[in-house]
A and B are shown apart, each in its own frame.
Chain A
Amino acid sequence: MVSGAEIMVKCLELEGVQIAFGYPGAAICPFYDFLYQSNIRHVLVREEQNAAHAASGYARSAGRPGVCIATSGPGATNLITGIATAYMDSVPLVAITGQVNSELLGRDVFQEADITGACEPFTKHSYLVKRAEELPRIFKEAFHIASTGRPGPVLIDVPVDVQQAEIPEFHYPEKAAIIGYKPRTQGHALQIRKALEAIEKAQRPIICCGGGVVLAGAREELIAFAKNSGIPVCATMMGIGVIPMDNPHYLGMIGMHGRTSANRAMKEADLVILCGARVGDRAVSAPQQIAEKAVVVHIDIDPAEIGKNMPVDVPIVGDIRIVMRALADQVKNTVPQEWLDQTLGYKKTYPSRGEPRTDSVEPRVFIRDLSPMMQDNAILVADVGQNQIWAARNFNVKEGRFLTSGGLGTMGYSIPAAIGAKLAKPHRQVVAVCGDGSFQMSMCELGTLCQEGVAVKIIIMENNRLGMVKEFQDRLYGKRYMATVLKGDPDFVKLAEAYGIPAARAETNEEAKQLAARMLETDGPFILVCAVDPDVPSI
Chain B
Amino acid sequence: MKYTLSVLVENQPGVLSKVSGLFARRGFNIDSLAVGVTEHPEISRMTIVVNGDEYIVEQVEKQLNKVIPVIKVKVLQPEAFISRELSLIKVNCNTKQRLEIMQIAQLMNAGIVDVTTNSLTLQLAATAEETETCIALLHPFGIKEICRAGTIALEKGSGVTAPSGKK
Contacts and interface: CB of A to CB of B under 8 A. Distances in A.
B62 A116 contact: no
A460 B141 CA distance: 76
A303 interface: yes
Contact of A304 (B21, B25, B55, B59): B59
Contacts of B17: 117, 120
Nearest to A149: B66
B58 interface: yes
A27 to B, nearest CB: 20
B68 A125 contact: yes
B31 to A, nearest CB: 22
Contacts of A181: 68, 166
B14 A116 contact: yes
B25 A178 contact: no
Nearest to B164: A179
Contacts of B69: 180
B78 to A, nearest CB: 22
A145 interface: yes
B163 interface: yes
A162 B15 CA distance: 21
B106 interface: no
Contacts of B103: none
- The interface centre, meaning the residue of A121, A178, A179, A182 with most chain B CB atoms within 10 A of its CB, is A179
Contact of B10 (A124, A145, A180): A180
Contacts of B67: 180
A302 interface: yes
Given A120-B17, A120-B21, A180-B71, A303 B62 contact: yes
A494 interface: no
B68 A145 contact: yes
Contact of B163 (A116, A121, A179): A179
A179 B15 CA distance: 14
B90 interface: no
B21 A180 contact: no
Contacts of B166: 180-182
A307 interface: yes
B84 to A, nearest CB: 26
A128 interface: yes
Given A179-B165, A180-B70, A303 B65 contact: yes
Interface string B44-77: 0000000000010011001101111111100000
Contacts of A302: 66
Given A179-B71, A181-B68, A304 B63 contact: yes
A365 B69 CA distance: 51
A158 to B, nearest CB: 15
Contacts of B68: 124-125, 145, 178, 180-181
B156 interface: no
A128 B62 contact: no
Contacts of A264: none
Contact of B165 (A180, A303, A304): A180
B2 interface: no
A284 to B, nearest CB: 17
8 closest A-B pairs (Cβ-Cβ)? A304-B62, A180-B71, A125-B68, A180-B70, A182-B165, A120-B21, A181-B68, A179-B71
Interface of B: 9-10, 14, 17-18, 21, 25, 55, 58-59, 62-63, 65-72, 163, 165-166
